[in-house]
Amino acid sequence: MSKENNPTRFDMSPDEFKQFGHKLIDWIANYMENVENYPVLSQIEPGEIKKQLPQSPPAQGESFDDIFGDIEKIILPGITHWNHPKFMAYFNSTSSGPGILGELLSAALNVNGMIWQTSPAATELEQVVLDWLRQMLNLPEKFWGIIYDTASISTLHAIAAAKTLTEEKLKDKFDLSRLSIYFSEHAHSSVEKAIRFIEIKNIRKIPVDENFKMIPQKLNEAIENDISEGLIPFCVIATVGTTSTTSIDPVKEIVKICKDKNLWLHVDAAYGGTAAIVPEMRNVLEGCESADSFVVNPHKWMFTPIDLSAFYITEPRLLKKTFSLVHEYLKTEKDSEVVNLMDYGIQLGRRFRALKLWFVIRYFGKEGIIKILREHIRISRKFAGFIEAHPDFEKMAPNPFSLVCFRAKINGITETGKINKLNEKLMKKVNKTGKAYLSHTKLNGNYVLRLAVSGIHTNEKDMLDTWELIQKTLTEIKKEMY
């Protein structure tokens, strides 16, 4: 019976849900199987989607067939397909079948895990699945985990916890205006955003070496200088897999400085941390076992639908001290026996994010995940070999994970500005084809292209096809020039 024939039912009827649900699942399965038939980068111009949509909401309900028709006609052309096997920009975040099903079930259950009582399973599964992930990363048991949406929010919580600890130590002598924080000049932009939010005034961007790694000596000098100026160093942020180049800061050396100066160390391993699941890549987290907090994003390179950020901290009480604010209506008789996750972060309402990660880990298993990550690393290193062997290209940074930074170079062109324009043109022409999607960064003033291999659907042939497209496009540009 439809909702029109049943005045007591306002939602879609079970029969309708099954009918359209089956249709949608079939569509998703077909989409995932044939996603490479779409242009990977949306080819529309700004404003095209808005022009096709009504300016006012519908007065009466519309059929699901009409809604779905607009998905295919209006929405899909405006989708840049992150699930595309040749999406090689940024750090590719791809969904997997089990992750999608986990997300679907989470939406159906629609629990709010703000306190244990509002969904015991959401709270306890989150604790278990994050401990599984901790073990997979070979991190020590002292790390307590909680899920946030993104690494940006995880980093915000890390800095807030470090600030609270500093307040505890200094008590009446605490002065927010004197706090100093330190991070690499290649750290993610979210670090600086979090610092602005918490209103830390003394920001120190530490120089990097030729491999774009933080220089420990420069860090130590910056800390010593601030101490001599009467400031209060309190937190260092190291990165395992920087956004531009995936460089790995020397965490082990940074740990020594932090311990000597009694500073909080947060490690941003949002992308690179996942690689440590692979036995021969465990060394990328060397020193991280001594950090105070740590973040890794399964939605970046672990095939979990965005968003899911796993944050670990050695002193969760600091999060609770910073963020716990319990009004009467949130109190229950079980509070002394359980963990209420609302107490450990800025948000009250919490989605059941752990469910999709649980699905992914259980479906693939640790060995299955290792196999995929290992293959991505192999493919990227093969691409790096092509770049190094080709006279018209050069690698611009080490590639410890599955990202390769490179640029084109042509004999006779030596001026940086002209080389930069050449590479910008190369990337735009490649992306305009819709056959592949690359991104860029700037390193020491050089315009550098980035090719990332981290999508679950990406295989060696996709890399070879993209490499052929890059070479072909450069040849076309050279013909235009001469």
Q: Could you read off the pLDDT of 234-275 as tens digits, one per residue?
A: 999 999 999 999 999 999 999 999 999 999 999 999 999 999
What does the pLDDT read at residue 215? 98
414 pLDDT band (50/70/90 cuts)?
A: confident
Cis peptide before 226 (omega within 30 of 0): no
Distance in angstroms (rounded) separating the CA atoms of residues 285 and 273: 7
What does the pLDDT read at residue 76? 95
Mean pLDDT of the chain: 95
pLDDT of 4 > 60? The answer is no
In this predicted model, what pLDDT tens digit does every residue of 100-121 receive, in sequence order? 999 999 999 999 999 999 999 9
What does the pLDDT read at residue 1? 43
- Its pTM stands at 0.94
96 pLDDT band (50/70/90 cuts)?
A: very high
What does the pLDDT read at residue 131? 98
**Which 3 state secondary structure label does DSSP give 365?**
helix
7 pLDDT band (50/70/90 cuts)?
A: low
The residues that bridge with 408 in the sheet, in sequence order, are: 393
The single-letter DSSP state of residue 74 is I
Mean pLDDT over 353-365 rounds to 98
In this predicted model, what pLDDT tens digit does every residue of 8-19 receive, in sequence order? 678 999 999 999
Task: Say if residues 238 and 265 touch (Cβ distance below 8 Å).
Answer: yes
Strands 264-268 and 232-239: parallel
What does the pLDDT read at residue 480? 86
Q: What angle do CA 264, 268, 356 make, to 5 degrees?
A: 125
Strands 446-452 and 403-408: antiparallel
Please report the beta strands in 167-216, taking only residues with DSSP state E, as ranges in sequence order: 179-184, 202-206
Distance in angstroms (rounded) separating the CA atoms of residues 361 and 194: 30
What does the pLDDT read at residue 288? 98
CA distances from 280 to 348, 373, 459 (A): 40, 11, 21
Task: Say if residues 395 and 384 touch (Cβ distance below 8 Å).
Answer: yes
In this predicted model, what pLDDT tens digit does every residue of 55-74 receive, in sequence order? 999 999 999 999 999 999 99
Mean pLDDT over 325-332 rounds to 92
Mean pLDDT over 439-461 rounds to 97
